[in-house]
Structure 1
Amino acid sequence: MANGTLLYAQSGGVTAVINATASAVITTARARRVKVLAARNGILGALREDLIDTSKEPLASIRALAHTPGGAFGSCRVKLKSLEADRARYERLLEVFRAHDVRWFLYNGGNDSADTALKVSRLAAEYGYPLTCIGVPKTIDNDLAVTDCCPGFGSAAKYTAVSVRECALDVAAMADTSTKVFVYEAMGRHAGWLAAAAGLAGQGPNDAPHIILFPERPFDEAMFFAEVKKTVERVGYCVVVASEGIHTADGTFVADAGAGKDAFGHTQLGGVASHLAARVKDTLGYKVHWTLPDYLQRSARHIASKTDLDQALAVGKAAVDYALKGMNATMPVIQRTADAPYRWKIVPANLEDIANHEKTMPAGFLRKDGFGITAAARRYLEPLIRGESPPPYGRDGLPKYVVLKNVAVKKKLAKFEG
């Protein structure tokens, strides 16, 4: 049995397969006879010394996490500042780690989480504390640098493509006497990966989605109206997919809700689909419907991609392997080795090459008119949504998901007020 404890935490918005990564982390560590604690509600749990003893969960429940959406241990949107500006909180983390003999810290999240893991690794080195920090990739936005794709994205992409195809059939059926334009809002603040995934729903020029709006291209309302009108006159209806982060040429978000910034410094966005729908109705006079899938995009485990699930499990296992090998300030990332047939493997990457970097779509993935995806984008995206791995269903017709007991570890330190 390895000496020390492994602490696992989840960060930011959860995904349909983040619990699969957690399952892989815990089962891999158990096989190596390593004790695993989980921080309740991400980094907040570590700061508050609110830790969960995963050994209290039966193996069947840990395995069931692989088909359960959400975040089994809770997550949070909390970003630690620089080591200098937030030193008290970083030192508190080390105090908690010492108290519970934490020698391996696995932080499952996106860009900001990679940054936190990197900073914790540097502080531990500064204080001479033996700690290995591993960033574990997760985000439906697919905007992590270095990795070819990110666990969580493939399932959200599959949900998006399937939903757009199904909605388009509905709109087509009603277009003669009812809805002419349908607007679907996809997540993606600065990177339009999910919006691009909607492009997989159709193959030909008249197939939905007819217009995709990306944050990588400035939004021109007049050009958009002209394209909508042209599509309705040609096809009979128009399906629009808009990324939540589309902005005008001066950088103003189309859906800026005017609510300031969140904990990560992100502008609070309002609802681009409802805005566009109102503008189309008022300007062109068409009957319009719109939808905001929001959390549905990231929680739809019932339609998860098998590729995505396999990759979520693989990074969880590799994270433990890397940690026990002492590969500090590292993240297991996905490296594509072939498109046809699709092949991939897990390789290590330095956190400093990932933290606070953002991967937007290559210019070659966007059509010249800016309203759709290219063949190159399709080659990249299609393998990521392939395969099905539905959860088990009960006699009530609903998926059988697991809820953990999440038994807390006894606290050893004074309450933290920071």
Structure 2
Amino acid sequence: MAKHNAFYAQSGGVSSVINASACGVIETCRQHSDRIGHLYAGHNGIIGALTEDLIDVGQESDEAIAALRHTPGGAFGSCRYKLKGIDTHRVQYERLIEVFQAHDIRYFFYNGGGDSADTCLKVSQLSERMGYPLQAIHVAKTVDNDLPLTDNSPGFGSVAKYIATSIREAALDVASMCATSTKVFVMEAMGRHAGWIAAAGALAGGEGAAPPHMVIFPEVPFDRRRVMRKVDETVKQYGYCVIVVSEGARYEDGSFLADAGNTDAFGHRQLGGVAPTLAGMVKQDLGYKYHWSVPDYLQRSARHLASRVDVEQAYAVGVRAVECALEGKNAIMPAIRRDSQSPYSWSIFDAPLADIANQEKFMPADFIREDGFGITQPCRDYLEPLIQGEDFPPFVNGMPDYAKLKLATVPKKLAPFEI
């Protein structure tokens, strides 16, 4: 059987476990060297494919690849670059196929969220129209946990663990000082349209006095008067109030509390910091002393606090992606199925990209408490298994020791291409 080459790329905002998926893809490709020749990686994601900026993964040692499993960030470089529609920008997709043909690439593994799922599907469709044999497999990744069909998304469990841990620790700090200092603490969590990460903050405590006292979701329209009344009641009852707010919190009309006024490369509204916005409301309406925190990239890069379940799932979808390609499958995303809640167990199944691309999974109504400021027991039951276990990276001289790659590039065969 003839051997052909493979291409792997990372897309969008990275996570603490996206490289664990890369490790799964690469190690599985190496185990099937009888069918897969060279494995190339796109330097800076899909841009690397368009510009023919390919990394020869074969130059990396087995030890360096194994170290990817505990290394955060995007080892080969990611990008926020969304390919346009096939009909209006066909030349971009044709360029991808041209690069794949030049380097005998027949397997395409694209590691990302909803937008990359759409790109992967379109590449699959165009290769079929052009008669070029290509297996296009999407490798799930998104800290937002908003991919449909899959029970959860690799990357989410570790962010959830970080947010829940951080708010528990910060709440102890605030509680110890609230008599003479900060009364209200606001922490912002990622999540543009879906409140999964903010919801995970509620795992830090329970009902009643245990903080966080409030969670503010994108799925619940923001009512300033109602929120301020709840903050005031909480401070008077407990002496302080700890809040987790999703960056995508919005008013009844759909406008964001913190809209920076522009869009990113994917066409999403850029959000300008909802934590300081909400804290400013507290100061203006209630006069309480406050502090706020925006963990931003810290929450998605905190590999030192990754969930072991998340790491294992991220690796597993990478492994299954290669298996799908070798089985001749196309336009598929390996997804996670929850087989049992207690004890928690999971497996991988193959989900069609046509049912995933351009779709978002929001918090179910029964996961949000009736008053809109917390989570229900079903939500807690869903979230808790995803943050279980620790998977610490190795430490050297007190610091985590991460993978160091050569990132050797492949000689170009085609004319330059402007993106």
TM-score for both structures, normalised by structure 2: 0.99
Q: Is the 8 A contact 1:2 1:32 kept in 2?
A: no
Q: Which amino acid aligns with 1:8?
A: Y
2:185 maps to 1:182? yes
Distance 1:410 1:365 in 2: 52
**Equivalent residue in structure 1 for 2:65, among 54, 62, 65:** 62
Deviation at 1:128, TM superposition (A): 0.3
Q: Is the 8 A contact 1:137 1:333 kept in 2?
A: yes
Distance 1:391 1:349 in 2: 31
1:283-329 alpha-carbon deviations (Å, 9 max, x no partner): 10100000000000100000000000000010000000001111100
Distance 1:139 1:10 in 2: 11
Deviation at 1:204, TM superposition (A): 2.9
Displaced runs of 4+ in structure 1, greater than 4 A?
A: none
1:256-280 alpha-carbon deviations (Å, 9 max, x no partner): 112x211111111100000111110
Q: Which amino acid aligns with 1:386?
A: Q
Partner of 2:226: 223
1:174-204 alpha-carbon deviations (Å, 9 max, x no partner): 0000000000000000000000000100023
Runs (5+) with no aligned partner, structure 1: none
Question: Could you tell me the percent identity over the aligned residues?
Answer: 60
Partner of 1:10: 10
Across the aligned residues of Structure 1 and Structure 2, the Cα RMSD in angstroms comes to 0.7
1:94-127 alpha-carbon deviations (Å, 9 max, x no partner): 0000000000000000001000000000000001
1:342-390 alpha-carbon deviations (Å, 9 max, x no partner): 0110000000000010000100000000000000000000000000000
Q: Which amino acid aligns with 2:165?
A: V
Deviation at 1:77, TM superposition (A): 0.3
1:376-405 alpha-carbon deviations (Å, 9 max, x no partner): 0000000000000000000x2000011211
Distance 2:338 2:354 in 1: 21
Distance 2:264 2:357 in 1: 19
Partner of 1:273: 275
2:318 maps to 1:338? no
- Distance change in 2, residues 1:94/1:25 (3 Å): same
Q: Is the 8 A contact 1:134 1:328 kept in 2?
A: yes
Distance 1:106 1:83 in 2: 19
SS in 2 for 1:323: helix
Q: Which amino acid aligns with 2:415?
A: A
Spell out the pairing of 1:176-325 with structure 2 (5 A cutoff).
176-258=179-261, 260-325=262-327
Partner of 1:86: 89
SS in 2 for 1:195: helix
Runs (5+) with no aligned partner, structure 2: none
**Equivalent residue in structure 2 for 1:143, among 137, 142, 146:** 146
**Equivalent residue in structure 2 for 1:127, among 118, 125, 130:** 130
Distance 1:99 1:155 in 2: 39
Distance 2:404 2:255 in 1: 42
Partner of 2:162: 159
1:117-146 alpha-carbon deviations (Å, 9 max, x no partner): 000000000010000000110000000011
SS in 1 for 2:399: coil
Q: Is the 8 A contact 1:107 1:135 kept in 2?
A: yes
Deviation at 1:2, TM superposition (A): 5.5
Partner of 1:28: 28
Q: Is the 8 A contact 1:21 1:314 kept in 2?
A: yes
SS in 1 for 2:400: coil
2:45 maps to 1:49? no
Q: Is the 8 A contact 1:65 1:402 kept in 2?
A: yes
Partner of 1:74: 77
Distance 2:206 2:145 in 1: 23
Distance 1:160 1:222 in 2: 27
Count of residue correspondences: 416
Partner of 1:406: 407
Partner of 1:386: 388
Distance 2:155 2:376 in 1: 23
Q: Which amino acid aligns with 2:348?
A: I
Distance 2:2 2:319 in 1: 16
Deviation at 1:85, TM superposition (A): 1.3
